[in-house]
Structure 1
Amino acid sequence: MIGSTIIGSTVIGVTTGNGLYHPEIILMRFLNTLLLTIPLLCVGSLSQADPSVADDYFLTIGGGYAPSGNQVSLENNVLFFQRVLTDLGLDTSKSDCFFSDGDAKGHDVQVMDPQTIPKANRLMAEFFGNSRSLGLTYRDHRVPNVRASTRPDNIRKWFVDVGATMQSGDRLLVFVTAHGSRSSSSKEPYETTIATWGNSSIKMSEFVGLLDELPDGVDVVSIMVQCHAGGFSRLIFNAGDPDRGMSPQRRCGFFATVNDRPAAGCTPEVDEANYVEYSTYFWAALSGRTRMGESIELPDYDGNGSVSFDEAHAYTILTADTIDLPNKTSGEFLNQYSKFGKGDSELLKDDEPYSVILGFANPVQRAVLEGLSSQLNLEGEKRLLAASDAVDSGSGRGRFRRRREESDASRVRREISRDLERRWPELANIVNPVSIELMTTRSDEFIRAIEEHKDYKRYRELADAVLVDESKRQVKYERFLRVADNVALAENLRRMGNEERIRQFEAIVQAESGTLGDAGRTQ
């Protein structure tokens, strides 16, 4: 009789009926058991680290504070984000959206489509009245499967009902496309807000408190495009306060603009081809398609075969012609814990030669620095100084140039209007019966009189031209400097030698390098 003594799944001895051990049998049994055990051990260990057991949760907070502040662009931002998730084949079963008034019936979205107004009426407003808000209407929002309104109590309840069920390794991606306000306290300039329904709001510190309620080991990625969104870059700190140290929860975020500036984008216009706000470019970079479904070259700046959140942020910095000054959490960390050198310090200064900065830049930063250098015609080693000079002196010239170009179009328009009033003096008042006839029964005559005017073609060229807005060019200098500063500050952090701070910074950078659908893969 042959017997064996087994502990767990490992053979520790084999005996015959006389109690003697046979080495050959011991070895044979041990090898057979080992061959059966190894796959089980491997499966068990993989199940603990396998990204497939980790989930991405998506939380969208969108819309305005009231119908008058709930522009259709905010609705379209949400719909575009949902399309991106679907196009990428991501599991959206754990996606929740809070938008404006929720499922309440009523006209809560502001929409403006001038093309719905008869052409004669549009021309009458343009030449003899005011075309502002022409075609403005309200309707119920069209965001599907909305969980509730954006009132703060609903958001708080989500963190209790859903957030608390998340597990270590899961990741929460928060997308905020709403309005926002600057801080009401000069002593707490980062205490900015997300505007929510019913003229309510959520402050930065309260939002951080909600994140604190998530289970240990849950990662957070935030993409926020509201005005003054940069205040929320402090979500990496305990209670949003750098003096209280880093949150133990790994968080990162990308923001359309800094804490003390408005953001571009909110509009009641229905034509998405004209949208130029932050998320338009950010989601296009990750999905490879614009809002209009057109393919773009993926901004895989580091050549690793995928587009990270950080690369999407960089693409937006390079591509968006807006007033926005985008920032991210790693930059806020460096602002708090690193510094520039002075005098004979070994730390890099804020006016280093360009080649020095470029030498320390990572592939994504190099793409931005080189791309903006090309756009702004920056050359040579003194690019940082040149960009700084442009920021200091450029805004006044830009404002003057824009006013001058707009006045050219206005002057030609007035000349056309005066000629038409000579033909129809009643146009001095657009509610005069003759004026009304020209918009209705005699509309063809009125349209023909304007479009056949000798100066109309020139006016249209002036009015439709893309104005050279130097404020948008100036902010690109600021973007250039911000990226260059982050390169220098990151190198200085390493030279300062605080190993704990370096590890914290690298963890944020690693999280910012994540991609859609990679929950658990950067643990």
Structure 2
Amino acid sequence: MTKGVAVLLLIVLLSGAGAWAGQKIVQIGGGNRIENSQGQIEDNVIWLSRILERSSDDVTTFFAAGRSGVKDVSLYGDTNRDPLLEPLARVLGDPSALQIEFRSNQVPNVSGSTVKDEMVASLGRVLEDLDAGSDLLLIYNGHGGRDWEDVRSNTLKTWQDGRVTVQEVDQILDYAPQESTVRFVFPQCYSGGFYYLLYDDPYSDQMAIQNRCGFFAESAFDESEGCSLDTSTEEYRDYSTYFFAPLNGATRAGDPLAVDPDSNGDGSISFRESHLYALMVADSTDLSRSTAEMYLEAWEPWYLRWDNEENRTSQYWKIAEYVARTHGLSLDGWTLAREKRRLRRMLDEVLRAQAQSAYSEQEMAQKIQAELVLAWPEIQEPYSPGFLALMEERLQEISEAITGNANYQRLIEMQNDLGRMAQAQVSLERRITQIDKVVRMKNLARLEKGFQRFARDEDKRQFERLLRCEEGIFFP
């Protein structure tokens, strides 16, 4: 998602024909406000619905404003900008706004909205109706909020600008039978804060009675990638797009999978295998993680931080090798550190250039504005009756005055440069993430070995419980 913008996709698996006994599927999606309810999220919901419906005919979907007809999706429409309005947008506002359209969602078979109170009540009823031993999968494929004082209070954002905290999600999950298995996939910003759903209470050190596990796009402190107004699937790099590709049997664009996700060769795809596939192939800014991985990192005693013994038999080591080979990186820690410092310097230069260019672009736009105001002072007040009358009567004349301005072509060049700088920034951030991923995979491989040596029996039991949960399969 474009970072910091909020949208929601929540999936809970419900039983139906084609799924194994006890399987439950409910899909909930959409943003917290219209400007944050991007077309990519709607596409995600529709795409995932099609995948799930192959194995179950009992999929319940909630999306943003539901079936009310209220406009609840924003996206880029016709790429041919109005030639009269574009000059005004470049000088007075944002030219990309000319392409934005708002409409009501086109998600099929929507059951209701995602307004917080309605959604929480609906989920509570769904979970109460679960049979003992049922499986539940919860996927929030949208935007999250961070509590800057306590990440255990991070939030999911819901329609009409609602907020659902970690603790509130925990209370919803408590409606499920104690014998049930609860899984969640959270690709939103700051999603790692929901790691604490593992526990009886986010502030407890006791595991929940239910068997719980999950997968996250990012840590509790970092933003994730995804959620664009653009609906070009080749640009989708959010965690859910990678995570669910193995279940789809192809990439989001319909291409063959880069690697075989069935790592144990048993002919089925587990949640954990989907996560490991995403770790291998994702070329994004997300450093995704699972509850078992975070459990290992939280367990690590201080003395193991100086243990440099490699664990080349670990699956994480193999992922490190694959990522390094794919992106032309070294496995050597010192070499990776030097490369990261070099890329950070390049990124800092790009960010400085962006800031300077944005300031210069604003100055240039203001210079053109000042000349326009001399002829048409109403332009200063875009919400006034005079401005509206001016646009109706003199739009072509004003547009021609802007395009004929000696500084207009330079303004276009500046704005195009800013677009290229934004792309360069994202490319560098993605490259840095691949380095961080190699380092983290090597560290997890090392931790696996140390854990088997030094962990208490109770820690090992809890870890094995997490692994069993993560290794559950989508559909037998």
Q: The TM-score by the shorter chain falls in which range?
A: 0.7 to 0.9
After TM superposition, the structure 1 = structure 2 runs for residues 41-80 of structure 1, keeping only pairs within 5 Å, are 54-80=21-47
Pairing partner for 2:55 from 90, 111, 127: 90
SS in 2 for 1:132: helix
After TM superposition, the structure 1 = structure 2 runs for residues 511-522 of structure 1, keeping only pairs within 5 Å, are 511-518=469-476
The change in CA–CA distance for 1:182 and 1:318 in structure 2 (over 3 A counts) is same
Pairing partner for 1:358 from 281, 298, 312: 312
| Counterpart code for 1:474 | I
Correspondence 1:397 to 2:346: yes
The change in CA–CA distance for 1:153 and 1:128 in structure 2 (over 3 A counts) is closer
1:260 corresponding residue in structure 2: 221
Native 8 Å contact 1:349 1:488 kept in 2: no
Distance 2:354 2:274 in 1: 34
Shift of 1:463: 6.0
2:230 corresponding residue in structure 1: 269
Shift of 1:371: 1.8
Correspondence 1:117 to 2:81: yes
Distance 1:351 1:232 in 2: 29
Distance 1:168 1:338 in 2: 35
SS in 2 for 1:367: helix
Distance 1:357 1:386 in 2: 19
With the length of structure 2 as denominator, give the TM-score of the two structures.
0.78
| Counterpart code for 2:23 | D
| Counterpart code for 2:348 | R
Distance 2:306 2:450 in 1: 11
Native 8 Å contact 1:339 1:493 kept in 2: no
Shift of 1:160: 3.6
Distance 2:259 2:50 in 1: 17
Shift of 1:127: 8.4
| Counterpart code for 1:358 | R
The change in CA–CA distance for 1:439 and 1:309 in structure 2 (over 3 A counts) is farther
After TM superposition, the structure 1 = structure 2 runs for residues 193-208 of structure 1, keeping only pairs within 5 Å, are 193-208=155-170
The change in CA–CA distance for 1:239 and 1:461 in structure 2 (over 3 A counts) is closer
Shift of 1:406: 10
After TM superposition, the structure 1 = structure 2 runs for residues 27-426 of structure 1, keeping only pairs within 5 Å, are 54-86=21-53, 89-93=54-58, 95-118=59-82, 121-122=85-86, 125=89, 130-184=94-148, 186=149, 188-243=150-205, 245-300=206-261, 302-304=263-265, 305-340=267-302, 342=303, 348-349=304-305, 352=308, 356-359=310-313, 361-362=314-315, 365-379=316-330, 382-383=332-333, 385-388=334-337, 390=339, 394-401=343-350, 404=353
Which protein is bigger by CA-based radius of gyration? 1
Deviations 1:174-204 (A, max 9, x none): 11123210025x2x32221001122211110
With the length of structure 1 as denominator, give the TM-score of the two structures.
0.71
Deviations 1:342-396 (A, max 9, x none): 3xxxxx545625xx2323x12xx2332112222454436x33x444555567434
SS in 2 for 1:138: strand
SS in 1 for 2:48: helix
Native 8 Å contact 2:262 2:268 kept in 1: no
SS in 2 for 1:174: strand
Distance 1:279 1:118 in 2: 35
| Counterpart code for 1:399 | D
Distance 2:474 2:342 in 1: 40
Distance 2:355 2:278 in 1: 28
Distance 2:29 2:292 in 1: 25
Shift of 1:163: 1.3
2:13 corresponding residue in structure 1: none
Native 8 Å contact 2:64 2:159 kept in 1: yes
The change in CA–CA distance for 1:301 and 1:405 in structure 2 (over 3 A counts) is farther
Identity across matched positions, percent: 24
SS in 2 for 1:133: helix
| Counterpart code for 2:319 | V
SS in 2 for 1:398: helix
1:45 corresponding residue in structure 2: none
SS in 2 for 1:115: coil
Consecutive unaligned residues in structure 2, runs of 5 or more? 1-17, 368-374, 380-386
Distance 2:145 2:105 in 1: 23
SS in 2 for 1:467: helix
Distance 2:326 2:359 in 1: 30
| Counterpart code for 1:294 | D
1:13 corresponding residue in structure 2: none
The change in CA–CA distance for 1:306 and 1:115 in structure 2 (over 3 A counts) is same
1:28 corresponding residue in structure 2: none
Native 8 Å contact 1:234 1:332 kept in 2: no
SS in 2 for 1:194: strand
SS in 2 for 1:241: coil
Shift of 1:402: 5.8
1:467 corresponding residue in structure 2: 424
Distance 2:417 2:269 in 1: 39
Native 8 Å contact 2:329 2:435 kept in 1: no
2:446 corresponding residue in structure 1: 488
Worse-superposed segment, 286-295 or 258-267: 286-295
Distance 2:101 2:44 in 1: 19
Native 8 Å contact 2:29 2:64 kept in 1: yes
Native 8 Å contact 2:340 2:432 kept in 1: yes
Distance 1:515 1:306 in 2: 7
Native 8 Å contact 1:286 1:308 kept in 2: no
Native 8 Å contact 2:138 2:182 kept in 1: yes
Shift of 1:52: 7.2
Shift of 1:144: 2.1
Distance 1:203 1:281 in 2: 26
Worse-superposed segment, 366-375 or 120-129: 120-129
The change in CA–CA distance for 1:350 and 1:311 in structure 2 (over 3 A counts) is farther
Distance 1:200 1:76 in 2: 22
Shift of 1:293: 2.9
Native 8 Å contact 1:159 1:214 kept in 2: no
Native 8 Å contact 1:288 1:297 kept in 2: no
Native 8 Å contact 2:144 2:189 kept in 1: yes
Distance 2:256 2:170 in 1: 36
Distance 1:403 1:83 in 2: 44
The change in CA–CA distance for 1:101 and 1:503 in structure 2 (over 3 A counts) is same
Native 8 Å contact 2:258 2:281 kept in 1: no
